[in-house]
Structure 1
Amino acid sequence: MILRRFTAADADALAALHGDAAVMRHIDDGRPVPADVVVRETLPAILREYAELPAGFGVFAADAPGFVGWFALKPATSVGLDPSDVELGYRLHPSAWGRGLATEGARLLVRRAFAELGVPRVAATTMAANVASRRVLEKAGLRHVDTFFADWPNPVPGAEHGDVVYALSKEEWLGQAVR
């Protein structure tokens, strides 16, 4: 798998990913994002971040081969995360699920965060009910550090179980056998 910067040519692929109900089921309001919103807002924001964030941070298209989704390493902004952390995130097409690609991409960005970018701690959040994402985070070396209950305006099924935070410090990463 190769992680690369998005380009304007990725608009249709990104819109298809964010428009997939299965992909979006555990994200935000659980609804697919309309293609025009992805093209008009989401992709331009991703492209802008390449200039605004330090080198090595941002949202990166994943090709394995062909576009299968994206992985992100950015300053933490998600509900439940410490703003001093760096946030790991990802979205993959259902056709890429179960192939180890989420774990591969997550490990790659964790390694980049600690070995190249000098990040002190990487964190991620997901719904407690999202067992597959929790397992990916564990395989990437992160550990469950918190469960919280946010008052979501439009809670999706499973929200009643809360959200979880996973994190890993550089010191913990250095002590792990698998990197």
Structure 2
Amino acid sequence: MDSGVRISVVETERLTLRPLVPDDLPELRRLHGDPEVMRFLDQDKPEDVLADDCFRAAIEKSSGRFVGWFEFLETGDGTAELGYRLHRGFWGLGYATEGGKALIERGFTTGGVQRVVATTMFVNAGSRRVMEKCGLRHVRTFHLDWDEPLPGSEHGEVEYALTREEWLAARNRSNW
């Protein structure tokens, strides 16, 4: 079943976001095998990411290096979920924000998306900062029961969201 918003290739100033291909599997394994990258994340399998068409490889234009992946998953009723995972060497360079904003813009302008949501652990300050820079606002904090909770899960999960109307207003104010 196809659950992804139909986005093929997205170009930003510094990134190409393209469908994942089988040759990306070694990079996906390296990314998912980094304990610091996975500190606040579940242990999904790289093969599952490769098989899902809502994920996009992020490739640095200047070097051709695999930066990580972005997810833009249609969840129903005009809503899409934004996700991202980057190699540590690319943290702090603005790539997560750049890729996230590009997918949000594409979803709102050509994908029929009315609302974008993203979630993370409350303690994942870096991801929360990316969500805010992408224009998403904190909607709620909630608690889930995990069989094997990660350190910090006692503080809960957070949901951030942005509606198409909010995005249009920000764009009209030149904040985009």
- Bucket of the pairwise TM-score, normalised by the shorter protein: 0.7 to 0.9
**CA distance in structure 2 between the partners assigned to 1:171 and 1:19 by the alignment:** 39
TM alignment of 1:80-95, pairs within 5 A: 84=77, 85-95=79-89
Partner in structure 1 of residue 175 of structure 2 = 178
Structure 2 residue 46 is the aligned partner of structure 1 residue 38: yes
Residues 1:24 and 2:23 are matched in the alignment = no
TM-score normalised by structure 1 residue count: 0.82
Q: Provide TM-score, normalisation by structure 2.
A: 0.83
Q: Is 2:116 the counterpart of 1:122?
A: yes
Number of aligned pairs? 155
Provide the secondary structure at the position in 2 that maps to 1:74.
strand
Runs of 4+, deviation exceeding 6 Å:
none
Gaps of 5+ in 2: 1-14
How far has the Cα of 1:38 moved from its partner? Answer: 2.7
Specify the alignment match of 2:55 in structure 1. Answer: 59
SS class of match (2:107): helix
- The answer to which of 125-134 and 111-120 deviates more is 111-120
Query: Per-residue displacement from partner, 1:120-179 (whole Å, max 9, x unpaired)?
Result: 100000000000000000000000001000011111111011000000000000000322
8 Å Cα contact 2:142-2:158 kept in structure 1: yes
Q: Is the 8 A contact 2:68 2:87 kept in 1?
A: yes
Tell me whether 1:69 sits opposite 2:38 in the alignment.
Answer: no
Look up the match of 2:131: 137
- The aligned residue for residue 104 of structure 2 is 110
What is the alpha-carbon distance in structure 2 between the residues aligned to residue 27 and residue 11 of structure 1? 19
- Give me the whole-angstrom Cα distance separating, in 1, the residues matched to 2:26 and 2:55: 16
Question: Counterpart of 1:80?
Answer: none
Query: Which whole-Å CA distance do the structure 2 matches of 1:13 and 1:23 have between them?
Result: 13
Where 1:155 maps in the other structure, the secondary structure is coil
Q: For residues 36-84 of structure 1, what are the alpha-carbon distances to aligned partners after superposition, in whole Å with 9 as ceiling and x for unaligned?
A: x534x442x22xx3xxxxxxxx1000011310100110123xxxxxx54
SS of the equivalent of 1:25 reads coil
- Contact 2:104 2:116 survives alignment (8 Å): yes
- CA distance in 2: counterparts of 1:102 and 1:130, whole angstroms: 14
Q: What is the alpha-carbon distance in structure 1 between the residues aligned to residue 84 and residue 46 of structure 2? A: 16
SS at match of 1:22: coil
Q: Distance in 2 between matches of 1:135 and 1:42?
A: 24
- Percent identity at matched positions? 49
